[in-house]
């Protein structure tokens, strides 16, 4: 136990840098997933036939093992940050698409009728009524996606990325339990903190 505390004390700057890189990869991946997933979720809510195809595609991506997906992406994008971000983006799509669609479909029909009664267009209804009311569902999807992305990002070093996974894999290669813990504990804390923060934000939107 003392070795672990000593390692943290002597290498806190490095661990802080790796944590920052980990967060940056996750935030970029989630931002892309929101930019693409929310519109796709809207399409799913309005067109069930097309929506089933979109969700099937997102499900297929989710089923692929993370290392296999990142290895395939590496063939296209090469090693490094870009490949990791694209992988995190793809893995984050399903919960965001699904929760956006469910949230839009759960809006009370009486509210929709009231909106139509005051002369709102379908686009106005979507942007001013349905989307704001569906935000708690979207936040629930983002919460799940964030936790998934933080976990997947730990394998980034295998394809030339940075982040806390660097310490974990260095520990595995050198059979150093202290380094494994030094990477795994901050990654786990990031996932827990992200879940708590987004959970509180979700409650405020209800």
For the stretch 93-134, pLDDT in tens is 999 999 999 998 888 777 777 777 777 777 778 777 888 888
- For residue 131, the model assigns a pLDDT of 83
Query: For the range 196-201, what are the long-range contacts, defined as Cβ-Cβ under 8 Å and sequence gap of 24 or more?
Result: 198/139, 198/142, 198/143, 198/146, 199/143, 201/139
Q: Rounded mean pLDDT of 44-56?
A: 91
Instruction: Check residue 132 and give its pLDDT.
Output: 83
Predicted confidence (pLDDT) per residue in 139-181, tens digit: 999 999 999 999 999 999 988 888 999 999 999 998 889 899 9
- pLDDT classification of 29: cutoffs 50, 70, 90: very high
């Amino acid at each position: 136990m003392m070795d672990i505390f000593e390692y943290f004390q002597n290498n806190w700057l490095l661990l802080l840098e790796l944590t920052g890189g980990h967060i940056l990869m996750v935030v970029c991946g989630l931002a892309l997933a929101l930019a693409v997933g929310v519109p796709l979720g809207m399409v799913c809510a309005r067109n069930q036939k097309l929506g089933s195809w979109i969700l099937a595609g997102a499900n297929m991506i989710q089923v692929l093992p993370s290392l296999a997906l990142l290895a395939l992406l590496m063939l296209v994008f090469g090693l490094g940050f870009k490949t990791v971000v694209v992988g995190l983006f793809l893995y984050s799509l399903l919960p965001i698409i699904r929760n956006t669609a469910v949230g839009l479909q759960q809006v009370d029909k009486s509210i929709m009728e009231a909106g139509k009664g005051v002369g709102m267009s379908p686009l106005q209804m979507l942007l001013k009524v349905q989307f704001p009311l569906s935000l708690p569902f979207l936040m629930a999807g983002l919460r799940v996606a964030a936790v998934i992305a933080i976990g997947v990002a730990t394998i980034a070093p295998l394809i030339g990325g940075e982040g806390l996974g660097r310490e974990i894999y260095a520990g595995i290669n050198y059979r150093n339990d202290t380094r494994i813990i030094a990477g795994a504990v901050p990654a786990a804390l990031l996932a827990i903190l992200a879940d708590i923060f987004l959970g509180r934000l979700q409650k405020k939107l209800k």
